[in-house]
């Protein structure tokens, strides 16, 4: 069997399963199983697929047909300049969350920043990678997520303290960044199968209007604390109303995504 044969079969199976990006997914899964760069495989589709790789590809394609996200199948996801290990204990980092990192990149040299709801550690670790001068810490209500963030911290060999805590841990100083859950209860079942079947519900859903976790965080922050909060575009006005001196940043698609302001 060649890579071309494997790609053709995988493309058919993933298309029939309703995957949004079947060619990209097939290329990522197969190139990784062959231990080659995706571009190299696409440039040389006649490369041989050994039996062991063929079995691995078959197993991976079956998982993807069941709509498991590629990031969980491969066990990793790129975020800004770093690669994070991810599994079903944590949300797969999303491109829109880069905006939260960009807000913190504006901080002065040596500033302190705390990432609440860190999940895989994406925001805190990307920030430390790009701004090693900052004093960064992180926390998550989920002990399982903290295990993943600590594993990523060890692998990237950066100085990040990560603790289990709901809301903002006591005695944290500096700016607070948070990509907390903000999906409404009634939105959950309509989300894609990749999300509903595989991602942790508690990482995404937060009450009737999606803002329970954000409200709790703001209420627990000392007056004067500066926060940057990721939210859905339709929640921007409600989040601005929770903070003083608030302004909302837009993502590359022009959607209101991160509100920055001060706890009153
Ligand atoms: C949307 S995920 C974001 C994960 C990560 N920050 C990212 O952007 O990839 C939200 C995270 O917040 C955590 N979480 C949910 N409610 C929380 C709360 N009240 N306090 C702290 N963390 C919470 C979840 O366990 C989950 O890891």
Residues forming beta bridges with residue 112, ordered by sequence position: 135
- Res 171: pLDDT: 78
**If pLDDT is split at 50, 70 and 90, which confidence band does 103 have?**
very high
The mean pLDDT of 140-150, rounded to a whole number, is: 98
Which of 180, 195, 212, 230 is the best mutation target for the ligand 1 pocket, counting ligand atoms within 8 Å of the beta carbon and taking the most?
A: 180
Q: Is 99 in the pocket of ligand 1 (CB under 6 A)?
A: no
- Res 227: pLDDT: 98
The DSSP code for 92 is P
**If pLDDT is split at 50, 70 and 90, which confidence band does 252 have?**
confident
Of 152, 111, 118, the closest CA to residue 134 belongs to 111
Distance 92 CA to ligand 1 centre (A): 11
Q: Is the pLDDT of residue 170 over 90?
A: no
The mean pLDDT of 8-14, rounded to a whole number, is: 98
- Res 185: pLDDT: 97
Residues forming beta bridges with residue 262, ordered by sequence position: 226, 244
Q: Is 98 in the pocket of ligand 1 (CB under 6 A)?
A: no
Cα dihedral 37, 39, 41, 43 in deg (nearest 10): -150
- Res 98: pLDDT: 96
User: What confidence tens digit (pLDDT) does each residue in 56-100 have?
Assistant: 999 999 999 999 999 999 999 999 999 999 999 999 999 999 999
Distance 141 CA to ligand 1 centre (A): 7
Q: Are 113 and 127 in contact (CB under 8 A)?
A: yes
The count of residues in the chain is 264
Beta strands in the chain (DSSP E): 76-79, 82-85, 112-116, 135-140, 161-164, 175-178, 226-230, 244-250, 256-262
Residue whose Cα lies nearest atom 27 of ligand 1: it is 119
CA-CA distance, 178 to 31, in Å (whole number)?
A: 35
Q: Is the pLDDT of residue 120 over 80?
A: yes
Atom of ligand 1 nearest to the CA of 142: 25
**If pLDDT is split at 50, 70 and 90, which confidence band does 173 have?**
confident
Q: Is the pLDDT of residue 30 over 80?
A: yes
- Res 60: pLDDT: 98
Average pLDDT value over all residues in the chain: 97
- Res 5: pLDDT: 97
Which of 183, 191, 203 is the best mutation target for the ligand 1 pocket, counting ligand atoms within 8 Å of the beta carbon and taking the most?
A: 203
Atom of ligand 1 nearest to the CA of 166: 20
The mean pLDDT of 135-154, rounded to a whole number, is: 98
Burial class for 87, CB neighbours closer than 10 Å (0-12, 13-18, 19+)? middle
Q: Is 121 in the pocket of ligand 1 (CB under 6 A)?
A: no
Of 163, 166, 139, the closest CA to residue 220 belongs to 166
- Res 70: pLDDT: 98
Atom of ligand 1 nearest to the CA of 92: 9
The mean pLDDT of 114-128, rounded to a whole number, is: 98
Exposure class string for 186-222: b at 16+ Cβ within 10 A, else e:
eeeeeeeebbeebbbeebbbbbeebbbbbbbbbeebe
Radius of gyration of the chain (CA): 20
User: What confidence tens digit (pLDDT) does each residue in 196-223 have?
Assistant: 999 999 999 999 999 999 999 999 999 9
Q: Are 128 and 136 in contact (CB under 8 A)?
A: yes
Q: Is 116 in the pocket of ligand 1 (CB under 6 A)?
A: yes
The mean pLDDT of 120-133, rounded to a whole number, is: 98
**If pLDDT is split at 50, 70 and 90, which confidence band does 172 have?**
confident
């Amino acid at each position: 069997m060649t890579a071309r044969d494997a790609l053709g079969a995988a493309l058919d199976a993933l298309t029939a399963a309703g995957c949004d990006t079947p060619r990209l997914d097939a290329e990522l899964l197969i190139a990784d199983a062959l231990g080659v760069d995706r571009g190299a495989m696409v440039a040389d589709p006649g490369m041989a697929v050994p039996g062991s790789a063929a079995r691995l590809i078959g197993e991976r394609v079956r998982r993807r047909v069941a709509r498991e996200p590629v990031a969980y199948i491969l066990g990793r996801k790129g975020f800004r300049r770093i690669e994070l290990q991810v599994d079903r204990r944590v949300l797969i980092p999303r491109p829109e969350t880069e905006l939260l990192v960009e807000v913190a990149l504006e901080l002065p040299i040596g500033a302190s920043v705390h990432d609440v709801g860190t999940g895989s550690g994406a925001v805190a670790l990307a920030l430390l990678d790009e701004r090693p001068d900052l004093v960064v810490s992180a926390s998550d209500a989920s002990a399982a997520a903290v295990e993943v963030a600590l594993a990523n911290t060890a692998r990237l060999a950066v100085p990040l303290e990560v603790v289990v805590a709901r809301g903002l841990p006591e005695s944290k100083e500096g700016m607070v960044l948070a990509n907390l859950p903000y999906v409404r209860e009634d939105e959950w079942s309509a989300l894609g199968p990749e999300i509903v079947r595989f991602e942790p519900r508690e990482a995404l859903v937060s009450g009737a209007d999606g803002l329970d976790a954000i409200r709790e965080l703001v209420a627990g922050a000392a007056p004067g604390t500066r926060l940057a909060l990721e939210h859905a575009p339709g929640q921007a006005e409600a989040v601005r109303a929770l903070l003083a001196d608030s302004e909302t940043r837009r993502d590359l698609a022009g959607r209101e995504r991160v509100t920055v302001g001060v706890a009153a």
